[in-house]
């Protein structure tokens, strides 16, 4: 496999880094403290075609491919991972439409999603142990030419700012509680309400809330992929989410090690920069190595996606690897900076909180191991 980027991929990555440096670096700390949704920034991202980067040209997207996309996500995450989270959740919702939607659904939604005129998100998780289980489970009942949805989707990102919710529900009577169906639900649909915003440890500029459905009626034409076809859709989208979040994690790790290395070169103790001490060099080398190896895995997995090859096992592997080393990258870089690194006026505490979100969200802890183990011949 050739890991060299094409000229187009390199230019897209450079554009994202320039965008992050100009627009995100100056406000990242303020967004972390305030938790304000960066509406103007998302509109600027749309102007750069980043919101439609993975979508096909026939719906107005850039069709840039998964390798270019992770270049953008990694670059944005070096500066403000929360903005990258908003972008990835929009992209996942948009992919549900273009990859599994009907021709009419694509015509009605995809062009606006590609241009960033409308923001999308996924609504998969519930408060119970699994979708369709528990008193708050989101259930859909067929009533003539409509489905009526009742229940709650939990921990929905982009909640309250998304225009389109890609909703996973259990259609009653369900032949199997694990069988999900997917509906496209406009944010303005009567009966859909957004719960109070949830305070999160990191990625604070990306709003998270429960979404409540109270007799929400949607036409049968809002169903994506047929009844009980949503489980396969969720599996594929969550595998892609693992790759995108791995790119975020690597971006955060690279930003942390760069900041720690710069600090170590300037911090003088006993008459010389601490960067000359072997213990400091070991910490920096370990983080840089972990980030590099992880990035190679992310690149390979993105190339598999781009080539239309099976990628789920590779996605699970990069997720499992970064689950082990992601937080460690921040622990080691904070140690390099000592008490200053632990202070809130430095970026590492913010990056520490953000990396917890990129390594822990979107799947239970055993999700990668189960997939990897099943793939072992």
- Of 31-45, 181-195, 313-327, least confident by mean pLDDT is 313-327
pLDDT 10s digits, 152-169? 999 999 999 999 999 999
Q: Is 339 exposed, middle or buried (0-12, 13-18, 19+ CB in 10 A)?
A: exposed
Average pLDDT over residues 347-361: 90
> Given this model, what pLDDT does residue 136 score?
87
pLDDT 10s digits, 247-265? 999 999 999 999 999 999 9
Annotate 26-35 with b (16+ C-beta within 10 A) or e (fewer): ebbeebbeeb
CB count in 10 Å sphere of residue 322: 30
pTM: 0.95
Percent of the chain with pLDDT over 70: 96
pLDDT at 277 over 50: yes
Contact criterion met (CB below 8 Å) for 135 and 105: no
Contact criterion met (CB below 8 Å) for 248 and 88: yes
Q: Kindly report the average pLDDT of the chain as a whole number.
A: 93
Look at the block and give the residue holding tokens 């072992």.
376
Which of 190, 209, 188 is closest to 199 using CA atoms?
209
pLDDT confidence band for 198 (50 / 70 / 90): very high
Structural domains in the chain, CATH included, are 7-118 (1.10.540.10), 121-228 (2.40.110.10), 231-375 (1.20.140.10)
Contact criterion met (CB below 8 Å) for 246 and 362: no
> Given this model, what pLDDT does residue 135 score?
80
The bridge status of strand 164-172 relative to strand 139-143 is parallel
CA-to-CA distance for 339 and 318, rounded, in angstroms?
Answer: 31
């Amino acid at each position: 496999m050739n890991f060299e980027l094409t000229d187009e991929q390199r230019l897209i990555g450079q554009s994202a880094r320039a965008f992050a440096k100009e627009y995100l670096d100056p406000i990242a700390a303020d967004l972390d403290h305030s938790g304000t949704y960066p509406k103007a920034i998302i509109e600027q991202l749309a102007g750069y075609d980043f919101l439609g980067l993975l979508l096909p040209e026939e719906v107005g997207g850039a069709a840039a491919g998964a390798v270019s996309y992770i270049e953008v996500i990694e670059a944005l995450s070096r500066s403000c991972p929360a903005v990258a989270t908003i972008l990835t959740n929009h992209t996942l919702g948009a992919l549900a439409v273009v990859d599994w939607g009907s021709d009419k659904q694509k015509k009605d939604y995809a062009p606006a999603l590609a241009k960033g005129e409308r923001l999308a998100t996924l609504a998969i998780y519930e408060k119970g142990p699994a979708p369709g289980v528990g008193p708050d489970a989101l259930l859909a009942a067929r009533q003539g030419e409509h489905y009526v949805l009742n229940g709650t989707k939990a921990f929905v990102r982009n909640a309250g700012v998304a225009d389109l919710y890609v909703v996973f529900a259990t259609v009653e009577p369900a032949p199997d509680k694990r069988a999900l169906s997917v509906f496209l639900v406009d944010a303005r649909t009567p009966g859909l309400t957004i719960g109070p915003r949830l305070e999160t440890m990191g990625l604070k500029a990306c709003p998270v809330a429960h979404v409540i459905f109270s007799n929400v009626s949607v036409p049968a034409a809002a169903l994506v992929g047929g009844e009980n076809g949503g489980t396969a859709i969720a599996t594929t989208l969550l595998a892609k989410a693992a790759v995108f979040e791995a790119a975020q994690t690597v971006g955060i790790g690279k930003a942390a090690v760069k900041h720690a290395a710069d600090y170590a070169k300037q911090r003088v103790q006993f008459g010389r920069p601490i960067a000359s001490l072997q213990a400091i060099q070991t910490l920096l080398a370990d983080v840089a190595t972990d980030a590099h190896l992880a990035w190679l895995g992310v690149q390979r997995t993105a190339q598999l996606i781009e080539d239309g090859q099976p990628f789920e096992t590779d996605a699970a592997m990069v997720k499992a690897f970064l689950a082990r080393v992601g937080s460690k990258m921040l622990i080691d870089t904070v140690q390099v900076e000592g008490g200053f690194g632990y202070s809130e006026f430095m970026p590492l505490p913010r990056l520490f909180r953000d990396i917890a979100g990129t390594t822990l969200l979107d799947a239970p802890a055993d999700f990668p191991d189960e997939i990897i183990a099943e793939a072992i011949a």
